[in-house]
A and B are shown apart, each in its own frame.
Chain A
């Protein structure tokens, strides 16, 4: 057996066979490397520091919310400031059905996804009828209105106490093992979202979405069905975010609007997007992990000051990193959400 390090590759020889692994920077983009790291990290933490698994789950879920939001932003050409509304829709649907009807998590998933899709379609005309500041304000208001509704109809939503007794997604293995299973479930969800959205954003539909992003009127004039694309790219991510709400309900065994619907939770998602870089789906994974661990760090070190420090950090990042951390890597590239076309003479 022999391992040789060459300038651009590692060469491994054993029993007359030879294996090579490219180590040039261009090979570092292999997604398998990063997926392996994401899988190994929680396993290591399970043995070294099990309480960190909760933070990893939070990181995966934050990234899983930000990834469909990227599709929504590209497809509608507008930034939705109230994605947590759909978390509320999915979470309350799952919790109510689980508690009152005794439905299993599998069935609540289907219903939560359908309800999220229905709400998404019902609200998608917003992206056609309103734009700019009005769209921002309207999307910002919806989760807050929903939160008020949960307080008004306390008998249904149980106000700030929340709904208790939601059937857990996994049970009976002991706390740490359950946490590890939840970690992998959240990671799987995030990776599936990443795969789907990445495929969409590299397909021919991305070209139409990019045109809508640039100039809706011109895009419509050259044959792009702007309204159809906007409605679909609003409703499908809404459904995907509602599924995250379903996961939260079955993960915690309880669901309270006060945890997810206020602006503080939206701020976290916004920070994930800012750190990752707007409309950078891979960047959202980095952003999710960065924010989840930063939050943990702030809680441990700054204590009561952490809610103040969070927006301050966001402000600094807004000023200094316009394209986010991932944007630093991608600054030499054009938009990520375009199919790569190589046309030669």
Chain B
């Protein structure tokens, strides 16, 4: 399988703090890569660097063979990268439909589209996540689950090849989480996505990911299949600490 994303020795410092330290990994096409780590491990910082929100201090990021380390976020999006956010960030003052129309209109291969074409695709994406009936509701009137689904619809409306999901289950109840996971997996098949999934809920990431990458204090401490990760001593130590009870 071809490599979609290749991250090589990326480092990010915030003053004296090294948030991401010399991390390298790659994602193959059609794969779901889980990204784990305790709070403050640097997971979101790493995704922010890949998506262009943060500049890379050193290292290289290649997307489908093209160096994207210096590209602004909107150009990376047009290449086929999209994301959801850890804390839901919908366009609060826009209607659900209009929020997705922006993404549909500005995403990959969408230049010169008419507004109505963009609206048609946006309504298709809303239908996919089950929000079509809420299309004329302002985003700030949606429930947290609906906001998460709106973010997913907005992300897939840009027609990405690589989707970053940043703790999509945070704040959802078990039934909503289960529904969201099923939906994401269905989106992966339907839209032919490659996914990098940050998640704290172990049961979900163990089931959904084919490979898992673990960060701790900004450094990569483990990479492998879910079975390898749960038995990895460094991972157990990072989550539970050392000693006889670990």
Residues of A whose CB lies within 8 Å of any CB of B are 203-204, 207-208, 210-211, 213-215, 217-227, 334-335, 338-339, 341, 343, 345
Contacts and interface: CB of A to CB of B under 8 A. Distances in A.
Contact of A226 (B74, B101, B135): B74
By secondary structure, the B interface counts as: helix
Contact of B97 (A210, A223, A335, A343): A343
Interface string B94-127: 1101110111011110100011101110110000
Given A220-B73, A339-B115, 6 more contacts: A204-B115, A215-B89, A222-B155, A222-B158, A338-B95, A345-B132
Interface in B64-96: 72-74, 77-78, 82-83, 85, 89, 91-95
B82 A222 contact: yes
A210 B107 contact: no
A221 B98 CA distance: 16
B105 A207 contact: yes
A219 B94 CA distance: 12
Nearest to A345: B132
Interface centre among B74, B116, B118 (most CB of A within 10 A): B74
B82 A211 contact: no
Interface of B: 51-53, 72-74, 77-78, 82-83, 85, 89, 91-95, 97-99, 101-103, 105-108, 110, 114-116, 118-120, 122-123, 132, 135, 138, 154-155, 157-158
A211 B74 contact: no
Contacts of A221: 51-53, 73-74, 77, 82-83
A33 to B, nearest CB: 28
A210 B94 CA distance: 8
B77 A223 contact: yes
B22 to A, nearest CB: 25
Nearest to A213: B93
Contacts of A343: 97, 119-120, 122-123, 135
A24 B102 CA distance: 35
Nearest to A224: B106
A341 B115 contact: yes
Contacts of B83: 221
Contact of A334 (B103, B120, B138, B154): B138
Interface centre among B53, B94, B122 (most CB of A within 10 A): B94
A338 B120 contact: no
A118 to B, nearest CB: 25
A214 B93 contact: yes
A334 B95 CA distance: 8
Contacts of A217: 53, 73, 89
18 contacts: A204-B115, A208-B106, A211-B94, A215-B91, A217-B53, A218-B85, A221-B52, A221-B77, A222-B77, A222-B102, A222-B106, A222-B107, A222-B155, A223-B74, A223-B78, A338-B98, A339-B115, A345-B132
